[in-house]
Amino acid sequence: MSRRVNNFSAGPSTLPQQVLEEAQAEFVEYQGSGMSLIEMSHRGNHFDEVHRDAIEMTRQIFRVPDCFEVLFLQGGATFQFSMVPMNLLRAGKRAGYVNSGSWATGAMTDAKFYGDIYTAWEGKDCGYTRMPQDDELEIQSDTRYLHITSNETIGGVQFTHWPDVDVPLVCDMSSDYMSRAIPWEKFDLVYGGLQKNLGPSGMALVFVRKSVVEDCNTDIGRYMRYAVHAEKNSMFNTPPVFPIYILGKILKWMSEKGGLDVIEREAQEKSNLLYSVIDSSDGYYSCPVERRCRSTMNVVFRLPNDNLEAEFLKQSDAADLLNLKGHRSVGGCRASIYNAMPRTGVTALAEFMVAFRDNNPG
């Protein structure tokens, strides 16, 4: 038996054990073929079935309407920071960006190369501890889209209420992908890397409205065009075979659990376990994020001082509660509790936090 710790890594991150074991069992020889799935043609019957299943399950579980294309693209979410404006922006149109933290800043940095963009809301002034309210968004004329980051992985800040604006939304959902239902009518494009909720790194799952695909720029290289990938059903070049295969298995695991509604409820319950320890600790633990924007995926918290924080990380490591250190840019602690983090792991952390406070008074 392999040893499995409670891994609170922000990404790549914990995946369902059942999925890892299934993949292991069929890794060397895939379904009687005499070879591994990663050794065979991506145009053959075996991979074709894996590919079609993954697309179908994605549509079914995430309730994706027919007016959206489902695309499997390489380059992670980061490549989408460029690909979105390359395809959607042109002279006379601009894009608004909500700067909610590190990832939104990254998206803006790249978009600047491809078009006219502006900051529709700046979160830096409040230390990226909240998302904007609707009436704080400054949407300019000729706005092609408003770009938002549904969950800031480093800051632990999440849109719990989708912006109500009269321009289409484009959203980076990398770190809360498929953890809740989304209102598709608000979106033109949704993207995210797999490696938080949905699989290994190296691939982005992208949803683009079909009418948008038809109207994308065509003066860019073929790999950069949504229309090329849509026309070839994400088989324009050799697709990321292994991530697609694992994605399919994770979707099956999600479906067996009861689908999106169950996942969404569990995410609420798991994060509430940790926030209630924080809130009932008389200020020993503190979460810098405004209450209405607390993330269900990345729970960030501080201890009374740096020494106690270091001690907390040392002792939690020894208790097999791993990767609780906050991102180096912000410090503190962070528990990433994505879809595959079992409730038992979160309970173990909650109990550890209570005991640590009792044994190490501030």
Ligand X SMILES: *Cc1c(COP(=O)(O)O)cnc(C)c1O
**Span 273-312, contacts to ligand X by CB under 6 A:** none
- 11 counts as binding ligand X under rule CB under 6 A: yes
Please report how close the Cβ of residue 306 comes to ligand X at its closest, in angstroms.
26
Question: Judged by CB, which is closer to ligand X: 99, or 149?
Answer: 149
Burial 225-237 (b: 16+ CB within 10 A, else e): bbbbbbeeebebe
Can 134 be counted among the known catalytic residues?
no
Please report how close the Cβ of residue 174 comes to ligand X at its closest, in angstroms.
3
Question: Judged by CB, which is closer to ligand X: 167, or 203?
Answer: 203
Which whole-number Å values give the CA distances from 101 to 34, 79, 150, 175, in the listed order?
Answer: 48, 18, 11, 13
Query: Which residues are 286's β-sheet partners?
Result: 302
- 13 counts as binding ligand X under rule CB under 6 A: no
Can 210 be counted among the known catalytic residues?
no
Interface residue with ligand X, options 69, 110, 116, 172 (CB under 6 A) = 172
Can 103 be counted among the known catalytic residues?
yes
Residue 173, class by beta-carbon neighbours within 10 Å (0-12 exposed, 13-18 middle, 19+ buried)? buried
Q: Which stretch binds ligand X (CB under 6 A): 33-41, 47-55, 128-136, 168-176?
A: 168-176
**Would you say 18 and 253 are in contact if contact means Cβ atoms under 8 Å apart?**
yes
Which whole-number Å values give the CA distances from 178 to 105, 174, 220, 239, 259, in the listed order?
Answer: 23, 9, 31, 22, 9
Neighbour tally for 183: CB within 10 Å: 8
- CA proximity to 88, closest of 165, 191, 176: 191
Interface residue with ligand X, options 85, 123, 193, 332 (CB under 6 A) = 193
d(CA 321, CA 13): 13
Position of tokens 């020889």?
29
> How distant is the alpha carbon of residue 206 from its chain centre?
12
Interface residue with ligand X, options 77, 120, 251, 303 (CB under 6 A) = 77
The residue at minimum Cβ distance from ligand X is: 76
Site string for ligand X, 195-234 (x = CB under 6 A): -x----x---------------------------------
Question: Judged by CB, which is closer to ligand X: 85, or 193?
Answer: 193
**Span 137-166, contacts to ligand X by CB under 6 A:** 149, 153
Q: Which stretch binds ligand X (CB under 6 A): 128-136, 171-179, 258-266, 289-297?
A: 171-179
Catalytic hit among 110, 116, 121, 172: 172
Interface residue with ligand X, options 30, 103, 128, 177 (CB under 6 A) = 103
- 98 counts as binding ligand X under rule CB under 6 A: no
Tokens coding 47: 């991979």
Please report how close the Cβ of residue 27 comes to ligand X at its closest, in angstroms.
23
d(CA 160, CA 146): 17
- 78 counts as binding ligand X under rule CB under 6 A: yes
Neighbour tally for 361: CB within 10 Å: 8
The residues annotated as belonging to the active site are 103, 172, 196
- Binding residues for ligand X (CB under 6 A): 11, 76-78, 103, 149, 153, 172, 174-175, 193, 196, 201
